[in-house]
Amino acid sequence: MLDIQKIRSDFPILSTTVCGKPLVYLDNGATAQKPNVVIDTINRLHTRQNANIHRGVHYLSEACTEEYENARRSVVTFINANSTREIVFTAGTTAAINLVASSFGDEFVQEGNEIIVTIMEHHSNFVPWQALCRRKNARLRVVDLTGDGDLDLEQFQEFIGEKTRLITVAQTSNVLGTVNPVSDIIKLAHSYNIPVLVDGAQSVVHSKIDMQALDCDFFTFSGHKFYGPTGIGVLYAKEKWLDVMPPYQYGGDMVATVTVEDTTFADLPLKFEAGTANYIGAIGLGAAIGYLEGLGMENIQQYEQELLQLAHKLADETAGMTVYGRTKRKAGILSFLLDGIHHYDTGMILDKMGIAVRTGHLCAEPLMTYMGVTGLVRASFGLYNTKEEVQALFDGIKKVQQMLG
Give the residues lining the site for ligand PMP (CB under 6 A): 92-94, 122, 124-125, 170, 174, 199, 201-202, 222, 363
Question: What is the nearest approach in angstroms of ligand PMP to the Cβ of residue 241?
Answer: 20
Q: Say how many CA atoms lie within 13 Å of 132 toward its Cβ.
A: 29
CA distance 306 to 139: 41
- Residue 172 or 401: the one with the smaller Cβ distance to ligand PMP is 172
Q: Is the CB of 167 or the CB of 363 nearer to ligand PMP?
A: 363
SS3 assignment, position 270: helix
Closest approach, Cβ 180 to ligand PMP, in A, equals 11
- Are residues 338 and 397 in contact, defined by beta-carbon separation less than 8 angstroms? yes
Task: Compute the distance between CA of residue 44 and CA of residue 30 in angstroms, rounded to an integer.
Answer: 26
Residue 157's closest CA among 175, 138, 177, 181? 181
Q: How far is the CB of 399 from ligand PMP (least distance, A)?
A: 28
- Give burial (CB, 10 Å; 0-12/13-18/19+) of 296: middle
Cβ closest to ligand PMP, residue 168 vs residue 385: 168
Closest CA to 331 of 181, 172, 93, 119: 172
Residue 382 Cβ vs ligand PMP, minimum distance, rounded to whole Å: 14
**Measured from the CB atom, is 143 or 349 closer to ligand PMP?**
143
Give the residue among 130, 141, 142 at the shortest CA–CA distance from 105.
Answer: 130
Question: Of 94 and 164, which CB lies nearer to ligand PMP in the complex structure?
Answer: 94
How does 99-118 read in b/e, with b if 16+ C-beta sit within 10 Å? bbbbbbbeeebeeebbbbbb
Is residue 216 part of the annotated active site? The answer reads no
CB of 99 to ligand PMP, least distance (A): 12
Phi, psi at 321, each rounded to 5°: -125, 130
Q: How far is the CB of 232 from ligand PMP (least distance, A)?
A: 9
How far is it, in rounded angstroms, from Cα 225 to Cα 91?
13
Catalytic option among 64, 133, 216, 363: 363
Q: How far apart are CA 107 and CA 185, in angstroms?
A: 23
Nearer to ligand PMP, 103 or 222 (CB): 222
Q: Pinpoint the alpha helices (H) of 80-139.
A: 93-108, 127-136
Q: Indicate if the alpha-carbon torsion angle 301, 282, 26, 169 is positive or negative.
A: negative
Active site residues per annotation? 363
